[in-house]
Amino acid sequence: MMPKHCFLGFLISVFLTGVAGTQPAHESLKPQRVQFQSRNFHNILQWKPGRSLTGNSSVYFVQYKIYGQRQWKNKEDCWGTQELFCDLTSETSDIQEPYYGRVRAASAGSYSEWSMTPRFTPWWETKIDPPVMNITQVNGSLLVILHAPNLPYRYQKEKNISIEDYYELVYRVFIINNSLEKEQKVYEGVHRMVEIEALIPHSSYCVVAEIYQPMLDRRSQRSEERCVEIP
C-alpha cells in the first residue's frame, strides 16, 4: 500500500503537470500570421484566428502606425470586427513610408495580447498585376495594346495616377504558335503598343504579356492568353 505522503506527492505532481500544459487564455486567443498583403498599392492587413478560436465567437481590434512613431492609431472600421482582414490602403498611402499593423482578439470577456506585423513598405512589397491586353488584327499582323494595372480608388480621386508613375516598367510580349506549339518573345521594352508581324496565314496564335520591374528585379504573373486565328 502506498504511504500517504507518497500519494499526496503523486497528486501534486499530476496537478502541476496539468497546469503547466495549459496555456493562459489570452495567449491562446492571440491572432496568428498577422501580415500585409499588397497588390497595386491596395494594402490589406490579414490574420488567422488564435489557436483556441473557432467560428465567429471572437472580435478583433486593429491599430497601425508609421515606423518611428510611438503612438498607435485605431482603425475605426476594424474596431470590433469579426472579419479576418482590414483594408488599410488609405492609412498606408505614402508608399515610401514603412508601416506596422497589429491586431488583438477578444472572446467571452478575455483579451489577447497584440500580434504585430513585420515592417511593411508599400513601394518595396506591393505586387503588380499583369498588364491588360487589347488585340486587333491589321492586315495579317497583330496590334497589341497594353495597359498597366489600375490603382485603388483612393489614388484615382486625387488625379489620374498610373502604376507607371511609381516604377520603371518594362513590358514583355510572347506569342505562341499553336500549330507548332512554340513560344517566342516578340517584344521587350517600355512602349505599350506592339505590332507583331510575319505571321503564318491560316494559323492560330495566342499572346501573353507580363511586366518586369528592373529596379526590383521582379516580374508580374503573366496575363491571360488571348488567342486569334490569322485568315
Pick the last residue of a domain from 95, 125, 155.
125
Last residue of a domain, one of 63, 95, 125: 125
End-of-domain residue from the set 104, 125, 146 = 125
pLDDT recorded at residue 211: 97
Contact 47, 31 (CB under 8 A): yes
- What's the rounded Cα separation, in Å, for the pair 143 and 220? 22
Shared domain check, 153 and 92? no
3-state helix, strand, coil in the chain (%, to 5): 15, 45, 40
Question: Are 98 and 144 part of one and the same domain?
Answer: no
Residue 6 has pLDDT above 60, yes or no: no
Residue 65 confidence (pLDDT) above 60: yes
User: Predicted confidence band at 163 (pLDDT cuts at 50, 70, 90)?
Assistant: confident
For 78-117, the pLDDT digits (tens) are 999 999 999 999 999 999 999 999 999 998 888 999 999 9
Give the count of domains, the chain. Answer: 2
* More confident position, 152 or 218: 218
Q: What is the DSSP letter of 5?
A: H
* Domain around 215: 132-229
CA distance 77 to 107: 19
Using the predicted structure, report yes or no on whether residue 225 has a pLDDT greater than 70.
Answer: yes
Is 6 part of any domain? no
Do 90 and 110 reside in the same domain of the chain? Answer: yes
Q: In terms of Cα–Cα distance, which of 54, 62, 57 is closest to 107?
A: 57
Please indicate, yes or no, whether residues 148 and 99 belong to a single structural domain of this protein: no
